């Protein structure tokens, strides 16, 4: 069996990767486990030195790494370069802060001494998606490796080239051979790896269906699991918002990475008083977006990652229009071999439509009109997802109150677009998953929080 990597610009085959057989997987598992035991014995400072080197190695070859990303999944080259730089940032962040995050904590009790230690769990398996093929990996790998764990990557087949490049980065940075390794497998074979006793825990970023399947396997094996799944993020614009700024940021929040992001703004919830102005300015701004070759200068969107995903998105749009939504711009399949889809806006989206309740993973924005703040909050929370959200208002106390008390999500941004930042925890609730990545919370997901009590 082999996997084909296809260029979404023109449908050309970039590479064929042979699927690993059981003997190859066995060797990788054994080597990773042995390497992890040696790695765990190193000091945090020694691990940090390797992690700083990984950042340097990555940046020194950023053009090649970014080009591979653009070829495999259609990401605009400037966005691919920015992704590499963000990966270097998270490496440096954990290299500089892991010692503080993992330092033993003394607890005052009647014992002579009592403390909590943060020890590595072992080998962590990561099942990762194609949309941010480097960042998603480093988001788990940087804290996981700094905590003393080993890392196995089961990446999406469409970006296996990126997976092998990431493995190369860690090898060239001086990490122990086999500590980070890629598994070129299909989904059915991943279950056997999850069940393997040498794998201590699992993390996955994927669809809800994939997350449920992985969580079920991990649950049967009683293994820790972190899930970062889908999102249908609301972007609430209240009557006192700065409309021009909300439009500019909102367009970027929806169409960055060609709209292929779990935390992209997807449902624009507009209080009626500003609905017409926002809609008019939003459409004007969207119509100025330029779609084309990821390597061409001045592009705002590239192709979607795969043609079948593009076609599925178009079906979502058609279903919503058939149910009464207004097609305000876009929504027409372009001719040609690529996986392109024009930036699209749907208006008059109402409950019961596909665009109301389903995650539209691509360059489609949905506009929903509500009468006031209370209805905006109710609509924002009327989804199975709870990953991130945004609220726009000039009243910062009002925005913070809504964000902190009313919105059901793992994160909420006031007058800003949703994003992931190494300094802040990242993750969701409801069908968006559970557990956290990044910050001090992320590095402690895959450690044994070990209590030690000593009496004299």
Binning the chain into helix, strand and coil, the percentages to the nearest 5 are 45, 20, 35
Instruction: Return the DSSP state at 326.
Output: E
Length of the chain: 456
Report the alpha-carbon distance of residue 368 to residue 351 in Å, rounded: 10
Catalytic choice (50, 262, 279, 412)? 262
CA distance 180 to 160: 15
The packing angle between helices 187-195 and 22-40, to 10°, is 40
How many angstroms separate the CA atoms of 346 and 331, rounded?
9
Asked if 231 contacts 154 with a C-beta cutoff of 8 angstroms, the reply is no
**Which listed residue (83, 217, 228, 359) is catalytic?**
228
| Helix (H) and strand (E) counts in the chain | 15, 20
Tokens of 356: 């109301």
* The pairing of beta strand 429-430 with beta strand 113-120: unpaired
Asked if residue 359 lies in contact with residue 385, where contact means CB atoms within 8 angstroms, the answer is yes
258 DSSP 8-state letter = G
Active site residue 228: yes
Environment class of 61 (CB within 10 Å of its CB; exposed 0-12, middle 13-18, buried 19+): middle
Identify whether 262 is a catalytic site residue: yes
pLDDT in tens, the chain (456 residues): 889 999 999 999 999 999 999 999 999 999 999 999 999 999 999 999 999 999 999 999 999 999 999 999 999 999 999 999 999 999 999 999 999 999 999 999 999 999 999 999 999 999 999 999 999 999 999 999 999 999 999 999 999 999 999 999 999 999 999 999 999 998 888 999 999 999 999 999 999 999 999 999 999 999 999 999 999 999 999 999 999 999 999 999 999 999 999 999 999 999 999 999 999 999 999 999 999 999 999 999 999 999 999 999 999 999 999 999 999 999 999 998 899 999 999 999 999 998 998 899 999 999 999 999 999 999 999 999 999 999 999 999 999 999 999 999 999 999 999 999 999 999 999 999 999 999 999 999 999 999 999 998
């Amino acid at each position: 069996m082999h996997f084909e990597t296809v260029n979404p610009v023109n449908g050309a085959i970039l590479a064929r990767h042979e699927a690993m057989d059981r003997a190859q997987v066995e060797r990788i598992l054994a080597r990773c486990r042995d390497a992890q035991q040696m790695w765990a014995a190193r000091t945090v400072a020694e691990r940090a030195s390797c992690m700083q080197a990984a950042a340097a190695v990555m940046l020194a070859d950023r053009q090649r790494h970014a080009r591979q990303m653009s070829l495999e999944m259609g990401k605009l080259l400037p966005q691919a370069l920015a992704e590499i730089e963000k990966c270097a940032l998270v490496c440096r962040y954990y290299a500089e802060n892991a010692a503080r995050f993992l330092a033993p904590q003394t607890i005052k009790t009647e014992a002579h001494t009592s403390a909590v230690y943060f020890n590595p769990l072992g080998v962590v398996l990561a099942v990762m998606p194609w949309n941010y093929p480097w960042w998603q990996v480093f988001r788990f790998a940087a804290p996981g490796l700094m905590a003393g764990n080993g890392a196995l990557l089961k990446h999406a087949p469409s970006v296996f080239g990126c997976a092998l490049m990431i493995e190369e980065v860690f090898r060239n940075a001086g990490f122990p051979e086999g500590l980070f390794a890629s598994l070129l497998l299909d989904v059915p074979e991943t279950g056997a790896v999850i069940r393997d006793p040498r794998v201590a825990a699992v993390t996955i970023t994927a669809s809800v269906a994939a997350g449920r399947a992985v969580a079920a396997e991990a649950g049967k094996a009683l293994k820790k699991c972190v899930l970062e799944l889908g999102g249908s993020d609301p972007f609430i614009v209240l009557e006192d918002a700065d409309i021009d700024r909300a439009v500019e940021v909102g367009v970027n929040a929806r169409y960055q990475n060609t709209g292929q992001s779990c935390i992209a703004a997807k449902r624009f919830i507009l209080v009626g008083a500003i609905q017409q102005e926002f809609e008019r300015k939003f459409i004007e701004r969207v119509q100025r977006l330029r779609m084309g070759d990821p390597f061409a200068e001045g592009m705002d969107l590239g192709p979607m990652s795969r043609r079948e995903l593009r076609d599925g998105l178009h079906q979502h749009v058609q279903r919503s229009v058939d149910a009464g939504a207004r097609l305000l711009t876009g929504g027409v399949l372009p001719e040609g071999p690529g996986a392109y889809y024009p930036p699209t806006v749907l208006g008059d989206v109402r409950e019961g439509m596909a665009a109301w309740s389903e995650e539209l993973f691509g360059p489609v924005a949905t506009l929903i009109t509500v009468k006031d703040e209370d209805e905006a909050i109710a609509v924002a929370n009327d989804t199975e997802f709870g990953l991130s959200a945004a609220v726009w208002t000039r009243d910062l106390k009002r925005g913070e109150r809504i964000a902190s008390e009313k919105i059901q999500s793992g994160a909420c941004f006031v007058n800003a677009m949703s994003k992931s930042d190494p300094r802040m925890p990242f993750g969701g609730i409801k069908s968006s998953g559970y557990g956290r990545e990044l910050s001090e919370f992320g590095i402690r997901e895959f450690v044994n929080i070990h209590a030690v009590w000593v009496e004299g």
